[in-house]
């Protein structure tokens, strides 16, 4: 199995091109099931999760073609991919595919809307928590879907088509909002969603659906109104920059010191994060090219955060922030409110010399002067990258096992970092 080897201590200097957002790409790809016409996605990142979803959609009958080869333009990876679900050949999403990637459960909304039925395996638990799908199912019931759960599968049926309705999410859910947007777009009548997720990825999806002919207003606010239409057409849309990638590299520079231009980064996507980094003494300048991050490499100020739905501090940057705080000039408190089990990186950071204790959903991080390289193991995507950040600033060699987690969500990670002076490489085998 591949591993990442890092010799820490180098400052980061240069340009990092920011890729398209994984968490915007996945629902946009799923939206292709809603039309028999072509949906073209620009700026699709080259990631294992994207490849996996291409396979899953292929199982339902979605063809895809790449505009030319995967190409590099102006230092940036760039792919335009056409998705075409001319005929849906299968409305079942089997366990072996859904279990590999939770977001594939979201096909349920699009299949139901287009075909009036779907049979999708329950995704099961995962490394960051139980992650139930109850709100997704309740939302679909509110649109007139009959749901039965048998043998680990959700069997959903709307024989006469979906009907518009009202649904209030008991808790903000990104996936739930994506599914309801897709389903309600083809429902008969109006749907109003309350307590909807406001994440930029939701806005990206709503914009795409509107280009396909849907009638959605209020995306990006907690109340979304969808007037159903009878069919959707093809469209072309650009995937937004990956705000988690932006935040991750900003934190890496804050930790190692240096001067890096995050090219293509949009500051509006992560205002809460940039604000807190500024308070800690990181120099952040925004211009038309992106965001420039500068830091001298001295210990930064500690900070307290609580993860929250957008526009709050994202849970997907919690592990990286903890990595950064391990070397802060004092004690920080990090509270995870979205997922109940998202602290698996704590013990691995401790292996690198961090001082962290847990009290319920809060991690108390006492900054230390120096981290030391070690062998570490990661349990999920964001936990893995927090170990990369910590390894870049640790003395000596850090080996990160289970690299496949990183490949799910970070495009060309080693290349982007080594182009900026990091000593990082992949060891095959
Ligand atoms: C999305 O997951 C992201 N995944 C996650 O990113 C991200 O951490 C999460 O949103 C929160 O921002 C993608 O976009 C592909 P949720 P999602 O539904 O939609 C509970 C990464 O590292 N809930 O917003 O699955 C749930 O258990 C990943 O890129 C229910 O209880 O998350 C959680 O506590 C990991 N019932 C909370 O809501 C439901 O039916 C928020 O989860 C649905 C959710």
* 239-262 per-position pLDDT tens digit: 999 999 999 999 999 999 999 999
Burial degree of 192 (CB within 10 A; 0-12, 13-18, 19+)? middle
Q: Whose CA is closest to atom 15 on ligand 1?
A: 23
Instruction: Bin 218: left if φ > 0, else alpha if -120 < ψ < 50, else beta.
Output: left
Distance between Cα 112 and ligand 1 center (Å)? 21
**pLDDT number for residue 69:** 52
Instruction: Identify the segments of the chain with pLDDT beneath 50.
Output: 74-75
Q: Is 386's C-beta closer than 6 angstroms to any atom of ligand 1?
A: no
129 lines ligand 1 (CB under 6 A): yes
In the prediction, which pLDDT does 378 show? 81
- Ligand 1 centre distance from Cα of residue 176 (Å): 8
CB of 176 shorter than 6 A to ligand 1: yes
Terminal CA-CA length for the chain: 5
H/E stretch holding 5 reads strand 3-7
User: Could you say which of 126, 198, 208, 420 is catalytic?
Assistant: 126
Of all atoms in ligand 1, which is nearest to the CA of residue 178? 19
Quote the pTM value.
0.97
Distance 307 CA to ligand 1 centre (A): 12
390 CB within 6 A, ligand 1? no
How far away, in angstroms, is 168 Cα from ligand 1 center? 17
**Residue 55: what pLDDT?**
94
- For residue 78, give the H/E element and its range: strand 76-78
What residue owns the CA closest to ligand 1's atom 8?
Answer: 316
Nearest CA to ligand 1 atom 27: 131
**Is 198 a residue of the active site?**
no
């Amino acid at each position: 199995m591949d591993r990442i080897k890092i010799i820490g201590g180098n400052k980061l200097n240069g340009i990092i091109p920011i890729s398209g957002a994984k968490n915007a790409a996945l629902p946009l790809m799923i939206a292709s099931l809603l039309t028999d016409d072509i949906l073209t996605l620009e700026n699709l990142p080259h990631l294992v999760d994207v490849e996996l979803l291409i396979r899953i959609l292929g199982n339902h009958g979605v063809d895809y073609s790449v505009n030319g080869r995967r190409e590099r333009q102006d230092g940036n990876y760039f792919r335009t991919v056409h998705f075409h679900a001319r005929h849906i050949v299968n409305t079942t999403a089997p366990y072996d595919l859904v279990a590999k990637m939770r977001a594939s459960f979201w096909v349920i909304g699009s299949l139901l809307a287009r075909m009036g039925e779907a049979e999708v395996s329950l995704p099961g638990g995962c490394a960051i928590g139980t992650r139930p799908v109850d709100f997704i199912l309740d939302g679909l019931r509110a649109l007139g879907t009959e749901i039965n759960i048998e043998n680990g599968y959700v069997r959903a049926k709307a024989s006469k088509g979906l009907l518009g309705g009202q649904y209030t999410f008991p808790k903000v859910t990104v996936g739930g909002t994506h599914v309801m947007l897709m389903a309600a777009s083809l429902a008969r009548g109006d749907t109003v969603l309350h307590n909807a997720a406001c994440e930029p990825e939701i806005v990206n999806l709503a914009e795409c659906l509107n280009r396909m002919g849907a009638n959605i207003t209020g995306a990006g606010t907690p109340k979304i109104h969808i007037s159903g239409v009878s069919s959707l057409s093809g469209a072309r849309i650009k995937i937004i920059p990956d705000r988690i990638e932006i935040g991750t590299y900003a934190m890496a520079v804050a930790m190692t010191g240096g001067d890096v231009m995050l090219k293509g980064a949009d500051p509006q996507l992560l205002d809460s994060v940039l604000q807190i980094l500024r308070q800690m003494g990181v120099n952040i300048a925004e211009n038309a090219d992106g965001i420039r991050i500068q830091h001298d490499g001295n210990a930064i100020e500690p900070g307290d955060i609580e993860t929250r739905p957008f526009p709050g501090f994202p849970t997907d940057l919690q592990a990286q922030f903890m990595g950064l705080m391990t070397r802060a000039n004092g004690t920080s408190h990090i509270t995870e409110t979205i997922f109940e089990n998202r602290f698996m990186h704590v013990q691995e950071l401790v292996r690198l010399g961090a001082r962290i204790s847990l009290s319920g959903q809060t991690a108390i991080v006492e900054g230390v002067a120096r981290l030391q390289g070690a062998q570490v193991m990661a349990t999920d995507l964001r936990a893995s990258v927090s170990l990369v950040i910590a390894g870049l600033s640790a003395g000596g060699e850090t080996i990160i096992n289970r690299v496949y987690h990183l490949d799910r969500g970070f495009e060309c990670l080693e290349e982007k970092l080594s182009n900026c002076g990091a000593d990082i490489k992949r060891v095959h085998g």
